[in-house]
C-alpha cells in the first residue's frame, strides 16, 4: 500500500520525497507553488527531475495539489488564469514524476447549475487541449460548504465522460468531504462503494485524501481531524480500508500533524489498521 501525507517543498521537491520516507511513508502530496495564488512559477526543473528519479528508485509515488483559487466552474478572466495556472502545475507534476494535479471540482453561484457543469467541462477541455504530458487532472469531490455541486461520485464521473479527453482526467476522493457532505455517514460505506463501482468511479480513482472529520456527517463543514480521532472514527475508517479499490490507491493524510510536527504516528496507525484487515 502507498501511504503518506502532504509535505512542504520549501527545501525542494526531492527533499520532500525523502522527508516522507523518513517518517515512514511511501507516498506524498505537495503544492507545486503558492497555494493561495494563481501566479505562475518558474521552477527548478533539475530538482524536479531528481525527485522523479529518486521516487522511481525508492518506490515512492506523489501527487500535486493545485492552488485553492482554481475554480473550474468560473467564467471570464479568472477561468483563463486558472487554465494557465493548472498547465504550470501539470508541467511541474510531470517533471516530478507525479500521478497528476488535484483540482477541486468547482463552485458555481449562478441561477442555472447546468451552466456550472458546462463551464467545468469546457474548462477541462481548454486545459487538456494544451497539455500532452502523462500527468492527469484529478478532480476532487467537495464538502458541500459552498453548495451541493461536486459532492457526488456521479457528478465527477459524468463531467469526466463529457470532456474531450477523459483519459487525461482521474479522481481524488476526500473522505472528510464525503462525510461532511452527507454522501457517506459511516454505516452506509458499503452502499457508497457499490454505487461507485457501478458507475465506474473506482476505475479512475488516482488518490485518496484520507482525512477524518472534526464535525458530524452532513455538517457541510470541511474541517479535518487526525486519522481515527474524529467523527468518522476508527470503526468506519477500518471499513473504508477494507475496500480493494481504496487499498490499491495512494492514501494521503491532510490532517493536523502529530505532536512531533509530522504525520509519522498517523501513517503508522494507517499501516497498523491495514494490516489488521489483511490478518482478518
- For the chain, give the mean pLDDT: 97
43 has pLDDT over 90: yes
Nearest residue to 242 via CA among 210, 206, 280, 268: 280
Which residue pairs from 159-167 have beta carbons closer than 8 angstroms and sit at least 24 positions apart in sequence? 159/105, 159/117, 159/120, 159/121, 159/124, 160/204, 162/121, 163/121, 163/124, 163/125, 163/128, 164/124, 164/125, 164/128, 164/129, 165/125, 165/128
pLDDT of residue 275: 85
C-alpha cell at 238: 477500518
Cα(280)–Cα(278) distance, rounded to whole angstroms?
5
3-279 under CATH 3.20.20.150, yes or no: yes
Question: Residues 189-231: pLDDT tens digits?
Answer: 999 999 999 999 999 999 999 999 999 999 999 999 999 999 9
DSSP code per residue over 107-156: ---SS-HHHHHHHHHHHHHHHHTT--SS-EEEEE---SBTBSTT-SHHHH
pLDDT of residue 278: 56
C-alpha cell at 160: 469526466
pTM value?
Answer: 0.97
Name 87's Cβ contacts closer than 8 Å, sequence gap at least 6: 127, 130, 131
Tell me what the mean pLDDT of segment 45-67 comes to: 98
Tell me what the mean pLDDT of segment 153-167 comes to: 98
Question: Residues 60-101: pLDDT tens digits?
Answer: 999 999 999 999 999 999 999 999 999 999 999 999 999 999
Give residue 59's region: left, alpha or beta (phi > 0; psi -120 to 50): left
Domain boundaries, the chain: 3-279
Amino acid at each position: 500500500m502507498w501511504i503518506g501525507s502532504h509535505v512542504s517543498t520549501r527545501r525542494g521537491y526531492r527533499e520532500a520525497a525523502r522527508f516522507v520516507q523518513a517518517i515512514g511513508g511511501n507516498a506524498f502530496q505537495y503544492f507545486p507553488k503558492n497555494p493561495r495564488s494563481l501566479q505562475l512559477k518558474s521552477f527548478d526543473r533539475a530538482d524536479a527531475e531528481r525527485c522523479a528519479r529518486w521516487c522511481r528508485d525508492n518506490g515512492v509515488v506523489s501527487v500535486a495539489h493545485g492552488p485553492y483559487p482554481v475554480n473550474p466552474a468560473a467564467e471570464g478572466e479568472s477561468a483563463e488564469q486558472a487554465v494557465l495556472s493548472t498547465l504550470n502545475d501539470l508541467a511541474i507534476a510531470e517533471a516530478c514524476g507525479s500521478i497528476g494535479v488535484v483540482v477541486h471540482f468547482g463552485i458555481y453561484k449562478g441561477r442555472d447549475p447546468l451552466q456550472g457543469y458546462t463551464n467545468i467541462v469546457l474548462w477541462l477541455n481548454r486545459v487538456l487541449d494544451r497539455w500532452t504530458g502523462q500527468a492527469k487532472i484529478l478532480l476532487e469531490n467537495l464538502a458541500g460548504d459552498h453548495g451541493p455541486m461536486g459532492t457526488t461520485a456521479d457528478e465527477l464521473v459524468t463531467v469526466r465522460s463529457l470532456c474531450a479527453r477523459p483519459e487525461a482526467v482521474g479522481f481524488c476522493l476526500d473522505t472528510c468531504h464525503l462525510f461532511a457532505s452527507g454522501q457517506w455517514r459511516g454505516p452506509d460505506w458499503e452502499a457508497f462503494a457499490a454505487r461507485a463501482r457501478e458507475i465506474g468511479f473506482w476505475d479512475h480513482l488516482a488518490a485518496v485524501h484520507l482525512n477524518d472529520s472534526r464535525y458530524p456527517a452532513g455538517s457541510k463543514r470541511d474541517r479535518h481531524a487526525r486519522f481515527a480521532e474524529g467523527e468518522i472514527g476508527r470503526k468506519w475508517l477500518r471499513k473504508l480500508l477494507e475496500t480493494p479499490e481504496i487499498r490499491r490507491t495512494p492514501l494521503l493524510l491532510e490532517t493536523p500533524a502529530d505532536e512531533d510536527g509530522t504525520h509519522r504516528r498517523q501513517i503508522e496507525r494507517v499501516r497498523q489498521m491495514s494490516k489488521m484487515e489483511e490478518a482478518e
